[in-house]
Amino acid sequence: MLAEIITIGDEILIGQIVDTNSAWMAKQLNLIGVSVKQITSVSDDEAHILSSLAQAEERADLILITGGLGPTKDDITKKTLAKYFGMGFRSDAGALEMVTSIFKKYNRPLIDINIQQADVPDGCEVIVNKNGTAPCMWFEQNDKIFVSMPGVPFEMMYLMDDEILPRIKSRFTLPSIVHKTILTANIGESFLAKEIEEIEDILPDHIKLAYLPKLGQVRLRLSAKGTDDTTLNQEVEVYAKQIISKIQKFVVVDEDVPFEKAILNIMKDRGVTLSTAESCTGGYIAHLITQHPGCSSVYWGGAVAYAYALKESILGVQESTLNQFGAVSEETVKEMAEGAIKHFKTDYAIAVSGIAGPDGGTDDKPVGTVWIAISNKNKTVAKVFTFSNKRIQNIERSAASALTMLLNLLKEDGLKE
Amino acid sequence: MLAEIITIGDEILIGQIVDTNSAWMAKQLNLIGVSVKQITSVSDDEAHILSSLAQAEERADLILITGGLGPTKDDITKKTLAKYFGMGFRSDAGALEMVTSIFKKYNRPLIDINIQQADVPDGCEVIVNKNGTAPCMWFEQNDKIFVSMPGVPFEMMYLMDDEILPRIKSRFTLPSIVHKTILTANIGESFLAKEIEEIEDILPDHIKLAYLPKLGQVRLRLSAKGTDDTTLNQEVEVYAKQIISKIQKFVVVDEDVPFEKAILNIMKDRGVTLSTAESCTGGYIAHLITQHPGCSSVYWGGAVAYAYALKESILGVQESTLNQFGAVSEETVKEMAEGAIKHFKTDYAIAVSGIAGPDGGTDDKPVGTVWIAISNKNKTVAKVFTFSNKRIQNIERSAASALTMLLNLLKEDGLKE
């Protein structure tokens, strides 16, 4: 079964927002065995929406549409869908009740344009949106299904989880799609490819191998398509095992988890704790870690020590070190990591201090210079990196490098045990 | 001039990565007056790539393609482009030199599949990619331009900034597109729409108004299209002024900056400083702030106090407060904010403590319960929120609410001056 996703909204095409909905929907659809054929973003323009709907209807069985359902005049998705299906409008009692109750809950008066949110094309089935005022609409035509959902991510997510995915699962016999991911670090894409060339060459046609490089890590993804999950899983496991045994020392974990989550899992298994002392990454490493449920058994917290004063007061960096070597130096970053171990009483600590840019560089420490230190209770490892002149990139790469250094120290400590 | 963006890669269609490239490219194109008609994501599948190219060629003058240029077997963009344009292959000297020098720099042996990175369709112009091994390729056919770039974001960004955008600007006479954004807070989309209804009704056809709601803020965007920037800017300013005077008290700033950046600017203008004390947001607020260059003149840093011990040791929260009221309580969050003011010596502080979930809730403090406190040197304001059961959402909403509370205290303090 093939699906397409159409996201509607000028804000996507002028680049004001990043379309995160599509990736989330695609992931959920793949998990139940629906392949996504295409993702299309179009503007709030009637003619263009109509032609996208027609093209998607030709290619796919299921068309999921998000966006353009707000109460304001720039949103035309509902009107355009009515035109596409040749339908008139009716007010939907369930949708009106939901709109009314939401406004009551927030103690706000109900005005005309909110009431109009409950008007829907008269041939669609309404699926009540419990988290917002725009109803979800389900259309069928020529054996194709069209679902229109609001573009607000959490409203769309609830509708997908609670309503749309269960309906699709119960109505269709879906093929099995099995993915298996192997997360690697400390090796580049082309070297990995060379290492596992012979295994890749003998993969059967229904199993594909993809390389997904990102910030010093490469994910290898085996994808198999067939009729039976169990068989596919067994097949994929055979190839995964061959690959893993070939590149053992680069493998972080053989599941599709974010890098920091893989590290958290290793630390949780060992019963060790972590703290952070961040300057130029400004809380980004802490944020990466604390995105994950259950992180609190490993991660105790840390400091975002932007100002000199906080490096001294929270982390106990010596004033003389800062004055003599500067904030971006091996000496300072080591004191930051060791200070975190001491003051936050954790088994491991990450410290980062650098010049994220775009300003603040000097001749001997240009923008992109980043010192990273990792400590356990006995040892501190420090390393300097020279990244780019782009701030966000430098923050992300610093975080990835710090996590790789932490992984390497954990591996080293693991060998000793 | 119309452009389309085609992003190629199975990883997008199975939802493994979010396509952030398209939004960035769309933004840059709009800034130089190129409208993006459609963004299309397709898989690493020859037939599908070919049909997407053909459809885009029908609709647009400029087709920007990213992805599928890696050295490994799953990447087929280059081969497919050669087929589309009916071209053979040649090895490009400049591209080969770049590949060689990159491998030399990292002290790695050059293997066959890396050398093949320099093979290109023989009718394209090669634009050397200084940041990676995949060359950028420029094709022309039937007065349409096709540019193929690597999908690695920073490689694509450099190529766009340094090569592609300058070429497009010098070659075409582009229409003017002017956007003006008004950032509002503390009011919902439909109420805003009602407030400015009369202004919206008299907008001329070439000026559009869009409402972009996000986490308690709404951005109003006026977009004008014409032939002359100066005239458009003047026109847009007239309507923007009318709107602003109508909704004065909800306006944060009349430019398109992230919410936290608008707050940083207000604080910088007043010469006041900020620190953070985060529990459930885990460094996310610090990260939002420190994304922005120049933040260090306002933001001094803060604590990510996940464990009880760190709330006490870094922030000076009383053990008795934690024991009596718990970490997620008005008392604790106030002590966190006041502790930040005291220990980090800043003028303002944000503190957040909540249950981000999915686990850890109780009957009287369900998942999604979040206490937020904002302090200046004389006053602490605290408020409790009940968000959802989704962790990432709770983190994002907590941050947005904390920033709104900070803005409101800054406004209150501003009135007193």
Residues 6+ apart with CB under 8 A from A107: none
- Provide the 10 A C-beta neighbour count for residue A399: 26
How much is the CA Rg of chain A, to the nearest whole Å?
26
d(CA B129, CA B155): 7
For B316, name the nearest residue in chain A, comparing CA atoms only: A314
By DSSP bridging, strand B144-149 and strand B62-66 are parallel
Angstrom CA distances, A142 to A52, A60, A145, B260, stand at 16, 11, 8, 48
- State pLDDT tens for residues A90-148: 999 999 998 898 888 777 788 888 889 999 999 999 998 988 889 999 999 999 999 99
Quick check: B13 and A37 CB within 8 A? yes
Question: Token pair for residue B106?
Answer: 């990292």
Burial of B318: CB neighbours in 10 Å, binned 0-12, 13-18, 19+: middle
Chain A residues touching residue B358 (CB < 8 angstroms) = 293
Dihedral over Cα of A38, A43, A44, A50: its sign: negative
Chain B residues touching residue A296 (CB < 8 angstroms) = 306-307
Q: Does 3.90.950.20 match the CATH number of domain A259-416?
A: yes
pLDDT of A417? 62
Q: CATH for A2-171?
A: 3.40.980.10
Q: Where are the domains of chain A?
A: 2-171, 176-253, 259-416
d(CA B140, CA B276): 53
Question: Token pair for residue A10?
Answer: 């000028």
By DSSP bridging, strand B125-127 and strand B136-141 are antiparallel
**Would you tell me the crossing angle of helices A391-416 and A259-270 to the nearest 10 degrees?**
30
- State pLDDT tens for residues A358-404: 998 999 999 999 999 999 999 999 999 998 888 998 999 999 999 99
A2-171 shares its CATH topology with A176-253 = no
Q: How many CB pairs lie under 8 A apart between chains A and B?
A: 323
Which residues in chain B land under pLDDT 50?
none
Chain B residues touching residue A208 (CB < 8 angstroms) = 10, 74
- State pLDDT tens for residues A17-27: 899 999 999 99
pLDDT of A248? 93
Higher pLDDT, B177 or A52: A52
Whether A340 shows a pLDDT value over 90: the answer reads yes
Output b/e per residue, A261-283; b: 16+ Cβ within 10 A: bbbbbbbeeeebbbbbbbbbbbb
Task: Spell out the CATH class of A176-253.
Answer: alpha beta
Segment holding B396, helix H or strand E: helix B391-416
Least trusted range by pLDDT, from A217-231, A269-283, B288-302: A217-231
Angstrom CA distances, A122 to A77, A127, A139, stand at 15, 13, 10
Asked whether B362 and A296 are in contact (CB, 8 A), the reply is no
Asked whether B336 and B305 are in contact (CB, 8 A), the reply is yes
User: How near does any CA of chain A get to the CA of B143, in Å?
Assistant: 23
Quick check: A343 and B313 CB within 8 A? yes
Give the closest residue to A16 by CA, choosing from B27, B150, B250.
B27
Give the closest residue to A75 by CA, choosing from B41, B196, B208, B31.
B208
